[in-house]
Amino acid sequence: MGGTPRNTREPGYTKDEAVGANAYDLIVTPTTKEDTDQVIREVFAGNTIEGSEWQDHDKEGQIGWRTGNTFPLLNADGSVDCGVNLCVDITERKQTEETLCRRTDYLEVLHEIEQGILATQSPEVIARAALDRIRQLVTCQRVGIALLEPASNEMVALVVDADVGTRVQDGARVRIDWFEDEINLLRQGQVVTLDDFRPREEVTAAIYAEGARSLVAVPLICQDELIGFLNLWMSSPDIITSEHLDAVRQIVGQLAIAIQQARLYEQIHRYTEELEQRVANRTRELSVLFKIAALANQALDLETTLAESLEQVLKAVKSDAGAIHLLDKAATESLDRALDDQGSEGEGLRLAVQQGIPSDLVAEIESLPSNEGLGAWLVEHDEPLIVPDITSDPREAITLPIEPYAYAGMPLRASGQTLGVLSIFWGTDQPRINVEELALLTSVADQLGIVIEGARLRERAEQMIVLEERGRLARDLHDSVTQLLYSVNLFATAGQDALASNNEEVLKYSLDQLEDGAQQALRELRLMLYELRPLTLEHGGLAEALQQRLDAVEERVGVTARLLVGKDIVLPEQIKQELYYIALEALNNALKHAQATLVTVSIDADRGQIELAVVDNGRGFDSALPKVTGGMGLSTMRERAKALHGEITINSAPGDGTQVRVIVPFNDFGTWSPGDIL
């Protein structure tokens, strides 16, 4: 194929150099050699080729593009000896197209990064997508993104091009101070270029071994802070152009924002999960504490309360076995005595309750020594104890024939003193106790300590009540029955003397006084016996309780007693109790002071109010006198009526009996349904 001066001057060859020379040797590049060969074959086959494009180079090696039409020159016999090519230079157009393609690719990368931001993808996903597109823009040995980790003074590979080698992986770490100068330049926003780098540590040595000799590092800066950088490893620094670098810098700028936002999203998500977990743990802790407090408020016996509390604790910490031991003296003596004697010789830990412990081991832990073992350690040190394997702990005094078990022990404290020990067991193959579970056990132990102390205080209070009641009965017996019996004894002696002296008048008087004293003593004893009986008010209505009182006391001492009930209503507990005690006080006065032989109690409800009346035919008294208005329990009755927002009237006169009347309004205590017992 020949040439003309016009189309050979452009490649820079002279006419003498071009004519007769091989076109391949002059202008055709290896990139388009195959396409050019095909065009030549078609032309020598007699075909015209239009619009073909090829890449060529000039005499100096500069690459260009051309397009044109190639025609065969036919001989007379139709054969083809040569062809003619008419072409134009399209290098600028091709360069523009390549620039547009790169621009399109770069815009697509930015779009993908923006989509990653909107989708709140992970930093790894966003970075991986960016690396794949950057490799399409720039030919390089390896691409990677590293993030700075100031806490560890390291750079951490976020993602590494997975298509190149296997020695450097995601997560690889390099110390920052090995590249301190380069990092300082990156902090200033500069692109760092190492045209001929040398390995400084294992990671760069691995990349060097893959053939990379040049490095370009582009900073990832977000809000004026260097968060990492993009590495481009190449065999030669000439591979990347300024145009490439501008595109990469714009991509990296957007990528830094995306990575930082993704990291913030992950951090917020992590904080949210931690917060949710904390709330769940706190809710679980409060639930267990609430259940234990509810058990304590049910007035159950201590053993039942501890057993049900232990069950709740084991569920909360996912354990199948546990026990509660109490100090012997805390379990058998009054609380303050136990606290005063705590730690004395002979004191030990007694098993109060257990769950999930094999029966053959229960006997082993029924009673623990106070001077050795884990229980003694807890009492002495007064702090929680965690043991990974209880069977191998030197502090354990008892040799337990069991598989290895993890142990958590908590002292049970109240008022600054240790009352017992809570023990929880886990299999060593189960997850270790965490901080939240330890906090839960500590709170539970404190709550159980309060429960134990409360039980001991209630026990002590009950004992004090019994003692006080005994003292009151002793005083009442002394002040009433004993004095009456002493008086009876005196009149009996006087009667005997009168009988011996044949004095009928004195004898009759002594017998009358003897009868009155015995009858009064009987009344007093009946009252005391009634007060010792359990109150029926809680299990029945007001009318039922008053009827039982009249049957038990008044009827048995010869007093005629009547109970009149009008309209039946259901009363609140407060009203039932206050009215009952007002009626009781009035009945006691009629029996003890008025010497009544007839008592009438009436209850009725009408016009939004309830009325209680107690009327007797006793001796009566002058209710206007100051010395009696506050006596005989009258002030107590007035206070009880006032507590019900009611009114009380007490009418009495010497020899005319006594009327006690109480009126309580309905509306102050809500709506009561009729038809039920009082």
- pLDDT band at residue 537 under the 50/70/90 scheme: low
pLDDT over 80 (residue 143): yes
- What pLDDT is recorded for position 600? 95
Contacts of 381 (CB under 8 A, 6+ apart): none
pLDDT over 90 (residue 562): yes
- What pLDDT is recorded for position 463? 83
- What pLDDT is recorded for position 598? 94
pLDDT over 50 (residue 334): no
Domain 5-89 is found in CATH 3.40.50.300: no
pLDDT over 80 (residue 59): no
* First vs last C-alpha separation in the chain: 130
- What pLDDT is recorded for position 617? 92
Which range (214-218, 481-485, 604-608, 665-669) has the least confidence? 665-669
Domain 299-442 is found in CATH 3.40.50.2000: no
Interval 25-47 mean pLDDT: 80
- What pLDDT is recorded for position 114? 62
Which range (31-40, 178-187, 608-617) has the least confidence? 31-40
Q: Which residues of 635-671 are buried (b: 16+ CB within 10 A; e: fewer)?
A: eebbebbeebebebebebeeeebbbbbbebebeeeee
CA angle 333, 338, 340 (to 5 degrees): 140
Query: Does the fold of domain 540-669 match that of domain 299-442?
Result: no
Q: State in words which class domain 540-669 has.
A: alpha beta
Which range (165-174, 256-265, 507-516) has the least confidence? 165-174
- What pLDDT is recorded for position 535? 57
pTM, 2 dp: 0.46
- pLDDT band at residue 209 under the 50/70/90 scheme: confident
pLDDT over 90 (residue 616): yes
Domain range 99-268, CATH architecture: 2-Layer Sandwich (3.30)
Interval 559-581 mean pLDDT: 84
- Higher-pLDDT residue of 539 and 473 is 473
Cα–Cα distance for residue pair 476/528, rounded to 1 Å? 8
- What pLDDT is recorded for position 659? 94
Interval 39-67 mean pLDDT: 82
Q: What is the pLDDT of residues 399-432, one digit of tens each?
A: 555 666 788 899 998 888 888 999 988 887 777 7
Q: What is the pLDDT of residues 429-464, one digit of tens each?
A: 777 777 888 888 888 888 888 888 888 888 888 788
Interval 622-651 mean pLDDT: 77
Cα–Cα distance for residue pair 657/675, rounded to 1 Å? 33
- What pLDDT is recorded for position 668? 47
Interval 170-190 mean pLDDT: 83
Which range (94-108, 134-148, 327-341, 609-623) has the least confidence? 327-341
- What pLDDT is recorded for position 219? 92
Interval 1-23 mean pLDDT: 58
Average pLDDT score over the chain = 78
pLDDT over 50 (residue 264): yes
Interval 655-660 mean pLDDT: 91
- What pLDDT is recorded for position 675? 36
Which range (49-63, 106-120, 182-196, 433-447) has the least confidence? 106-120
Interval 133-144 mean pLDDT: 76
pLDDT over 70 (residue 227): yes
Residue with tokens 């779009």: 111
CA-based radius of gyration for the chain: 53
Q: Which residues of 123-143 are buried (b: 16+ CB within 10 A; e: fewer)?
A: beebbbbbbbbbbebbebbbb
Which range (73-87, 209-223, 624-638) has the least confidence? 624-638
Under 8 Å between Cβ of 570 and 613: no
- What pLDDT is recorded for position 126? 77
- pLDDT band at residue 110 under the 50/70/90 scheme: low
Under 8 Å between Cβ of 26 and 13: yes
Return the percentage of the chain with pLDDT > 70, whole number: 84
Cα–Cα distance for residue pair 508/515, rounded to 1 Å? 11
pLDDT over 70 (residue 340): no
Alpha helices in 298-391 (DSSP H): 302-316, 328-332, 335-341, 359-365, 374-381
Q: What is the pLDDT of residues 469-502, one digit of tens each?
A: 788 777 777 766 777 787 788 778 888 888 888 8
Which range (62-76, 347-361, 465-479, 546-560) has the least confidence? 465-479
- Higher-pLDDT residue of 628 and 391 is 391
Interval 256-267 mean pLDDT: 81
- pLDDT band at residue 567 under the 50/70/90 scheme: confident
Under 8 Å between Cβ of 449 and 412: yes
pLDDT over 70 (residue 122): yes
pLDDT over 60 (residue 7): no
Q: Which residues pair with 85 in a beta bridge?
A: 70
Interval 378-396 mean pLDDT: 82
Interval 294-299 mean pLDDT: 73
Which range (491-500, 522-531, 595-604) has the least confidence? 522-531
Interval 262-287 mean pLDDT: 83
pLDDT over 80 (residue 198): no
Q: Which of 200-214, 285-299, 434-448, 522-536 has the highest mean pLDDT?
A: 434-448
| Amino acid letter, 427 | G
Interval 577-606 mean pLDDT: 88
Interval 13-20 mean pLDDT: 72
Return the percentage of the chain with pLDDT > 90, whole number: 7
Q: What is the pLDDT of residues 78-97, one digit of tens each?
A: 888 888 888 888 888 888 88
Q: For the chain, which residues make up each domain, given as ranges? A: 5-89, 99-268, 299-442, 540-669
Region class of 620: left (phi > 0), else alpha (psi between -120 and 50), else beta: left
